[in-house]
Structures are given as structure tokens and as C-alpha cells.
Amino acid sequence: MKIKEIIVVEGRDDTTAIKRAVDADTIETNGSAIGASVIERIRLAQERRGVIILTDPDYPGERIRHIVSQKVPGCKHAFLPKKEAISKKGDDLGVENASPEAIRAALNNVKEEMENPSEQIPWQDLILAGLIGGSRAKERREKLGLLLKIGYTNGKQLYNRLLMFKITREEFAEAMSQVLEEEKDE
């Protein structure tokens, strides 16, 4: 599988994992202290070939995703579920731990960022769905993120991603229905 866009990852081990899974070029941020020269390389990559951000499904990875996305608008996003990125020992979370199949699946479900998102799903709907506040909110957001392929988020990030990726009310309702159905089966 050949990827036209350049994939932004955190480090060298992530690049190795990507290259095991697909034929692609990468830019490594080398952690969350992203220098101006790295941002310039990402900006040039976005102009010439497009960029897909694929960072670890943890706080530092989300921070890097946010920084790059803010400084280089119009990036595409690929998300690995936490369960696909955990090391065999269970002590490390990262792209470098994902199987080639999991990486290909994430890259097959790339989400495109919209520059001027309009409100499609009101904040109140997230509260009513039990995604913000409440004992099961975190678990529901995690399941919803997997179904919509937008990654795990806190409440505010979920709202922003729903808008950014133009998730429709129908997509949201269908995914929430599945989340609630799975809860009944537990």
C-alpha cells in the first residue's frame, strides 16, 4: 500500500513501524517540543503532497497532533485505538507497538480536517448522550471514538473533532445507538 501524503509521527521507532506496514515517507517530530524547522518541513509537505498525522493515542501524542494541526491547517488525521498501540508487556503505548494491519486500518480510515467547521452536533447532545459528566462518560467517549474512527478524546476534544471532521447527526446517532446497545449486553 503506497501512501501519497507524508505521515507525521513522533519518532524513529514509529517510522520503522509505518514502513513495515506501508510504503510511505514520514516526518518525525522527536517529541512534543516541536521546533520551528520541523513545522516548516510539515508545512512544505502539506503544500506539496499533503500530511497525515498519526501520533500515539496518549496525552503527549494528542498534544503533538494539536500543535501541528494549529500551525499547519488542513492536515488529515489517522487514529490508532489504544488497544492496538499497547506493547505486549502492557507498559508502553505508541504507534511503534501497533501491528502492520492496525496501522493500515488507521490509514484506511483517515479523517480530513475542515477549516471552518459549522456546528452540526450541539454540545447539549453530548451531555444528553452521557458523553460529558456521569459515571460512564469516559467509557462511552472511548467506544464512540472507536466507532467514528476519531480516537479517544475528553469531552471538549470530542466536540471539536465532531465539528472538525463534519460528523453528521445521523453518524453520531447511529454510533451512539451502538454504544448504548453494547452497554445493554454487558
Going from the C-alpha of 16 to that of each of 19, 63, 99, the distances in angstroms are 5, 22, 11
The whole-number pLDDT of residue 61 equals: 93
pTM of structure: 0.76
Supply φ then ψ for residue 108, to 5 degrees.
-80, -15
pLDDT in tens, 138-183: 999 999 999 999 998 899 999 989 988 888 888 999 999 999 999 8
**23 DSSP β-pair partners:** 2
Based on its alpha-carbon atoms, the radius of gyration of the chain, rounded to whole angstroms, reads 16
Q: Which residue, 66, 91, 113, sits at the end of a domain?
A: 113
The helix/strand count (H/E) of the chain reads as 8, 5
Model pLDDT for residues 19-64, shown as the tens digit of each residue: 999 999 999 998 878 999 999 999 999 999 999 999 999 999 999 9
Give the range of the structural domain holding residue 144, as residue numbers without chain letter: 117-186
Q: What is the CATH number of the domain that holds 91?
A: 3.40.1360.10
| Percent of the chain residues topping a pLDDT of 90 | 69
| Spatial separation of the C-alpha atoms in residues 10 and 137, rounded to whole Å | 29
